[in-house]
């Protein structure tokens, strides 16, 4: 079995400032409609949720980077972080990633946040 990992940490206020400054332009560049709906449903913790998803996308990207020929082909919304009915995060792929990555069921994502900081990790498992 092979493993690749990625991790990212971000200050919540960086995401909040970008959302407040650029609004929908920023949101629609980074997040899918499903992600926006989820984060907005969190009301007072929505910025922590946005930051957590941002960190998760970065963590997944870092874990996947070895599989990519050109990292500039990937858009933020090609990685979508969703939650199952129990709140466990998982990943959907779109765009060029659907052609490159067939590891969806082999990616574990974990997100955590507090008032000021969000962190996420991703682990990819596959057999040769």
Residues 6 or more apart whose CB falls under 8 angstroms from that of 14 comprise: 51
**pLDDT at 105 (0 to 100):** 57
Residue 100: domain span? 2-126
* pLDDT value for 30: 98
For the chain, the domain total comes to: 1
CATH number of the domain where residue 15 is located: 3.90.470.20
Question: Cα(12)–Cα(45) distance, rounded to whole angstroms?
Answer: 10
What pLDDT is stored for residue 104 in this prediction? Answer: 57
Q: What is the pLDDT of residue 97?
A: 84
| pLDDT mean by block of 10 residues, the chain; 128 residues | 93 98 98 97 96 97 86 91 92 85 76 97 84
Predicted pLDDT at 103: 59
User: Which residues have C-beta within 8 Å of that of residue 71, sequence separation ≥ 6?
Assistant: 61, 65
pLDDT at residue 68, rounded to an integer: 83
At residue 125, the pLDDT reads: 85
């Amino acid at each position: 079995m092979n493993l690749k990992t990625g991790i990212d940490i971000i200050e919540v206020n960086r995401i909040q400032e970008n959302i407040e400054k650029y609004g929908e332009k920023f949101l629609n560049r980074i997040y899918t409609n499903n992600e926006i709906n989820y984060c907005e449903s969190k009301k007072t913790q929505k910025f922590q949720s946005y930051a957590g998803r941002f960190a998760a996308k970065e963590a997944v990207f870092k874990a996947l980077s070895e599989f990519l020929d050109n990292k500039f082909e990937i858009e933020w919304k090609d990685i979508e972080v969703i939650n199952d009915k129990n709140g466990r995060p998982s990943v959907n792929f779109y765009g060029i990633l659907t052609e490159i990555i067939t590891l969806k069921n082999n990616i574990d994502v974990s997100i955590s946040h507090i008032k000021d900081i969000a962190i996420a990790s991703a682990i990819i498992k596959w057999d040769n």
